[in-house]
A and B are shown apart, each in its own frame.
Chain A
Amino acid sequence: AQSVTQLGSHVSVSEGALVLLRCNYSSSVPPYLFWYVQYPNQGLQLLLKYTSAATLVKGINGFEAEFKKSETSFHLTKPSAHMSDAAEYFCAVSIMNRDDKIIFGKGTRLHILP
């Protein structure tokens, strides 16, 4: 079975500082991996996804994530935080070539300090 663990339910960084949100996955078969962002009272928006091509994936809003099979990790980073990045971030996994569910982590709420 697939699962996702996000380390830290809340992360605070200063504006302009590096953002690092951690995600580890468990999957017995090659996974697809996703990061979604959820702003207050809104639905989820896809930030980026890994689909077995390049291990370093670039997404929207300056975010990127690196797939590391040896560490079973897919951490999300951004070099310089902006106030507008304050939101909840979800890491998710699904199985290649399956056509249904995505398994989500519990989420990390990112706070940006002025």
Chain B
Amino acid sequence: NAGVMQNPRHLVRRRGQEARLRCSPMKGHSHVYWYRQLPEEGLKFMVYLQKENIIDESGMPKERFSAEFPKEGPSILRIQQVVRGDSAAYFCASSASAGNMDEQYFGPGTRLTVT
């Protein structure tokens, strides 16, 4: 049973370009969470999605960032017009059900570097 998959593992973008980060949850999981880890910091919650719905986006920056989890295919975190401050590791996690009794399984992360 494959774990949470994220691609690409490393992404380099120039300022002003768009970054698309993909997350395929574990088989049977319909709940996806995105976190951002800045250097020397812990993970910060960004957004929680279920299939086709955004449940909680309280951690998402108000501009340039968006997320989706379509009925078919992976969850996408999209960052438009990237800036240097967007350089970070972005982690996706998935769980089988709502409620935090159920463990969130983390992917290996995508390390975004903005030059």
Contacts and interface: CB of A to CB of B under 8 A. Distances in A.
Contacts of B6: 43
B91 A43 contact: yes
**Interface band, chain B:** 20 to 34
Interface of B: 4, 6, 31, 33, 35, 40-45, 48, 55-56, 58-59, 91, 93, 98-101, 103-104, 106-109
Contacts of A96: 100
Interface of A: 4, 9, 32, 36, 41-46, 49, 51, 90, 92, 94-107
Contacts of B109: 41-43
Given A44-B43, A44-B91, 4 more contacts: A42-B109, A51-B101, A90-B43, A95-B100
A101 B40 contact: no
Given A100-B33, A100-B56, A90 B108 contact: no
